[in-house]
Amino acid sequence: MLSFREKILESYRKKNSVLCVGLDPALPSQRKSNVIPSKYLDERNENKSRLNFCLSLVEATSKYCVAFKPNQQYVAGFTLEDHRKLTTAIRAAGCVSILDYKLNDIGDSIESAVFHIKRWGYDAITFNPFLGNIESTVNLAHSGDQKLGIIVLTLTSNPETVRYQKETKLNGKPIYLVVAEDVRRYEADGCVVGATGHVTVDEIKAIRNAAGSDKIFLVPGVGTQKGDPQKVVESGGNVLINVSRDVDYSESPGEKAKEYTELFRSLGAKFT
Amino acid sequence: MLSFREKILESYRKKNSVLCVGLDPALPSQRKSNVIPSKYLDERNENKSRLNFCLSLVEATSKYCVAFKPNQQYVAGFTLEDHRKLTTAIRAAGCVSILDYKLNDIGDSIESAVFHIKRWGYDAITFNPFLGNIESTVNLAHSGDQKLGIIVLTLTSNPETVRYQKETKLNGKPIYLVVAEDVRRYEADGCVVGATGHVTVDEIKAIRNAAGSDKIFLVPGVGTQKGDPQKVVESGGNVLINVSRDVDYSESPGEKAKEYTELFRSLGAKFT
């Protein structure tokens, strides 16, 4: 079977887009705005409500994006069948599926997570390196017929990670660069790299240099979170730019996805 | 409603035990040994199989333990209803429930996770600090009628965390001590502290000193993982010692839980 990188490239050739649509389905009881529109709601079944909404977004936007990224915190409670319906629809639309799961655990528990997530049908997951275990997780995820990509949280854009990821050092080196080196050494598939506020073009270039030019950078924080796609595009190719709320809760998700795809294309973003 | 600490103390007074039974239900298709016994299996429904097994463990062991800790990687795919059945049974048995979720995310996604997990009925979750956000997560988890405890991964016992948690430093201080200080500063409920191999009594004492004497230490790695309960007990009180496989897959989980409870009691472990 194809590697995660090969799947992204295959989808990219068809779509000519670097847009990843994040799927963050919020129930009406969950918050005041940006919630699932009433037409998708099934009062007796919250999973069906969330799944219907996600499937409608896949249908509306798959022409203009290369990947979809459901966030675990929003699809919490989905069953094997729910996940399979979603990943099947994403694949049928010619796109790649990334579960934003932020996996972190030890030995047997990592094995259990990879077992379940492979059966759910995802092409890749995100991974948090605080417990180490990048090498063993990558080996397990890449073993067998089904290759599950591992995209490692490297430098995120929320303010507190200045302290926890930049100022925190191993032998004098910021921990985000140590993570980027581990991504190369252990052959993980990519890095999650923020695009907002404190993250600079120089830092993104340093991560690219450490991780390798072939790694996929997944860049969240664009759209409602006011990220700066230019920063990431400037730092080189192989960047997957994620937009969630600004597409999901738009009056016309298809139009919004098209706008973002054209914006990123105009900035020169591409996969190579 | 009671805080997590108050719930633990209330349960402790009834049970006189510091044992937490980890619930790691593995499907027979998942691995070769330590899988759910056939009498609990429903071929058409993997959630029911896992839930049946967990409920049987609660029934068999609740007399000898103070808490149960389902691991997210093993209960992946559980629905709202599955989680509620499990947390309801744990509460009815006079015990406390901790979802070993290792939450790590940003703003809205943290809110979504806390929304779902509170509805599932858990008393606490584990939390990974690599993205920061301890303060905002604690505030959210403790807000409202239902107080969700936050237990922060501080120093884990797998070999790779020597590099990622001890040798990695913020202003010359090992990051695990920075995390322990943040637990105190932001009023989180406790720390996850390993008990095996590289973790020393002095390190556990340093964490206790930084985090505060009232924090609950959740200590995994005892039992099959050959942890050293003595180490943690020596470091002071308020320690919840977790055993998973060695109880779950014992021929007599109740007897096994009783043995561990008596062992920990004989070492002088207690809540204060």
CA distance A168 to B169: 5
Q: Say which of B76, B77, B132 has its CB closest to residue A160.
A: B132
* Strand arrangement of the beta sheet that strand A173-174 belongs to: A173-174, A168-170, B168-170, B173-174
Tell me the pLDDT tens digit for each residue of A97-152: 999 999 999 999 999 999 999 999 999 999 999 999 999 999 999 999 999 999 99
Mean pLDDT calculated for residue range B198-202: 92
Using alpha carbons, select from A17, A90, A32 the residue that is nearest to residue A56.
A90
pTM value is 0.97
In-domain check, residue B271: no
- Non-local (6+) Cβ contacts of B177 within 8 A are B206, B207, B210
Question: Is A171 near chain B, with CB under 8 Å?
Answer: yes
Question: Is B133 near chain A, with CB under 8 Å?
Answer: yes
Mean pLDDT calculated for residue range B259-266: 93
- Specify whether the CB–CB gap between B39 and B73 falls below 8 A: no
CA distance B122 to B149: 9
- Determine if residue B135 is left, alpha or beta; phi over 0 gives left, psi from -120 to 50 gives alpha, anything else beta: alpha
Asked whether residue B197 carries a pLDDT value surpassing 90, the answer given is no
Asked whether residue B227 carries a pLDDT value surpassing 70, the answer given is no
Amino acid letter for position B222: V
In-domain check, residue B49: yes
Mutation for B interface: A29, A164, A183, most B CBs within 10 A: A164
Asked whether residue B225 carries a pLDDT value surpassing 70, the answer given is no
Mean pLDDT calculated for residue range A205-226: 88
User: In what helix (H) or strand (E) does residue A194 lie, and over which residues does it extend?
Assistant: none
| Chain A residues close to B178, C-beta within 8 Å | 168
In-domain check, residue A211: yes
Question: Is A224 near chain B, with CB under 8 Å?
Answer: no
For residue A108, give how far its alpha carbon lies from the nearest alpha carbon of chain B (Å). 9
Tell me the pLDDT tens digit for each residue of B73-127: 999 999 999 999 999 999 999 999 999 999 999 999 999 999 999 999 999 999 9
In-domain check, residue A93: yes
Q: Name the residue in chain B with its Cα closest to that of A165.
A: B130
Asked whether residue A193 carries a pLDDT value surpassing 90, the answer given is yes
ipTM of the complex, rounded to two decimals:
0.97
Q: What is the structure's pLDDT at A227?
A: 62
- Non-local (6+) Cβ contacts of A57 within 8 A are A21, A23, A68, A247, A248, A253
Q: What is the structure's pLDDT at B248?
A: 98
CA of residue A134 relative to chain centroid, distance = 17
Mutation for A interface: B157, B168, B175, B199, most A CBs within 10 A: B168
Q: What is the structure's pLDDT at A13?
A: 96
CA distance B126 to B121: 15
Contact state of B175 with A168 under an 8 Å Cβ cutoff: yes
- Other C-beta atoms lying within 10 Å of the C-beta of residue B29: 9
How many contacts, defined by CB atoms under 8 Å, are there between A and B?
156
Using alpha carbons, select from A240, A269, A260 the residue that is nearest to residue A5.
A240
Mean pLDDT calculated for residue range A1-23: 96
How far lies A82's CA from each of A164, A249, B80, B121, in Å? Answer: 35, 21, 13, 22
Q: Which two tokens stand for residue A203?
A: 């830092």
In-domain check, residue A272: no
CA distance B194 to B242: 10
pLDDT > 70 in chain B, percent:
98
The answer to whether the Cα torsion of A53, B46, A135, B152 is positive or negative is: positive
| Chain B residues close to A116, C-beta within 8 Å | 73, 76-77
Ramachandran angles phi, psi of A43, nearest 5°: -55, -30
Contact state of A164 with B71 under an 8 Å Cβ cutoff: no
Question: Is A132 near chain B, with CB under 8 Å?
Answer: yes
Contact state of A74 with B112 under an 8 Å Cβ cutoff: yes
Q: Say which of B30, B71, B131 has its CB closest to residue A158.
A: B131
Q: Say which of A112, A116, A170 has its CB closest to residue B163.
A: A170
Output the average pLDDT for chain A.
Answer: 95
Using alpha carbons, select from B216, B219, B222 the residue that is nearest to residue B123.
B216
In-domain check, residue A246: yes
Q: What is the structure's pLDDT at A226?
A: 60
- Non-local (6+) Cβ contacts of B16 within 8 A are B265
Ramachandran angles phi, psi of B28, nearest 5°: -60, -25
Output the domain CATH number for residue A213: 3.20.20.70
Cα-based angle A37, A40, A42 (whole degrees, multiple of 5): 120
Q: Which two tokens stand for residue A200?
A: 């600079």
Q: How confident is the model at residue A222 (pLDDT cuts 50, 70, 90)?
A: confident
- Non-local (6+) Cβ contacts of A96 within 8 A are A4, A7, A8, A11, A66, A67, A68, A90, A123, A124
- Determine if residue A267 is left, alpha or beta; phi over 0 gives left, psi from -120 to 50 gives alpha, anything else beta: alpha
Mean pLDDT calculated for residue range B153-177: 95
Using alpha carbons, select from A104, A93, A152, A86 the residue that is nearest to residue A124.
A152
Asked whether residue A236 carries a pLDDT value surpassing 90, the answer given is no
For residue B112, give how far its alpha carbon lies from the nearest alpha carbon of chain A (Å). 6
H-type alpha helices, B143-174: 161
Cα-based angle B166, B172, B176 (whole degrees, multiple of 5): 30
Ramachandran angles phi, psi of B264, nearest 5°: -65, -35
Question: Is A104 near chain B, with CB under 8 Å?
Answer: yes
Mean pLDDT calculated for residue range A239-256: 96
Question: Is B110 near chain A, with CB under 8 Å?
Answer: yes
Q: Which two tokens stand for residue B218?
A: 């959740």
Tell me the pLDDT tens digit for each residue of B11-58: 999 999 999 999 999 999 999 999 999 999 999 999 999 999 999 999
- Residue B216 bridge partners (DSSP): B190
Q: Say which of A73, A106, A110 has its CB closest to residue B112.
A: A73
Contact state of A130 with B133 under an 8 Å Cβ cutoff: no
Contact state of A112 with B71 under an 8 Å Cβ cutoff: yes
Asked whether residue A195 carries a pLDDT value surpassing 80, the answer given is yes
Contact state of B160 with A31 under an 8 Å Cβ cutoff: no
Mean pLDDT calculated for residue range B183-194: 97
In-domain check, residue A271: no
Asked whether residue B270 carries a pLDDT value surpassing 80, the answer given is yes
Asked whether residue A96 carries a pLDDT value surpassing 80, the answer given is yes
- Structurally, how many domains does chain A consist of? 1
Pairing of strands B190-193, A216-222: unpaired
In-domain check, residue A208: yes
Query: Strand, helix or coil at B5?
Result: helix
CA distance A157 to B194: 29
Q: Name the residue in chain B with its Cα closest to that of A113.
A: B73
Between B56 and B267, residue with greater pLDDT: B56
Asked whether residue B237 carries a pLDDT value surpassing 90, the answer given is no
CA distance B125 to B75: 14
Mean pLDDT calculated for residue range A225-248: 85
- Specify whether the CB–CB gap between B217 and B238 falls below 8 A: yes
- Specify whether the CB–CB gap between B234 and B265 falls below 8 A: no
Cα-based angle B101, B106, B109 (whole degrees, multiple of 5): 65
Q: What is the structure's pLDDT at A93?
A: 98
What part of A 18-77 touches B (C-beta under 8 Å)? 24, 26, 30-31, 46-47, 71-74, 76-77
Domain that holds residue B148: 4-266
pLDDT > 90 in chain B, percent:
88
Q: How confident is the model at residue A225 (pLDDT cuts 50, 70, 90)?
A: low
Between B55 and A222, residue with greater pLDDT: B55
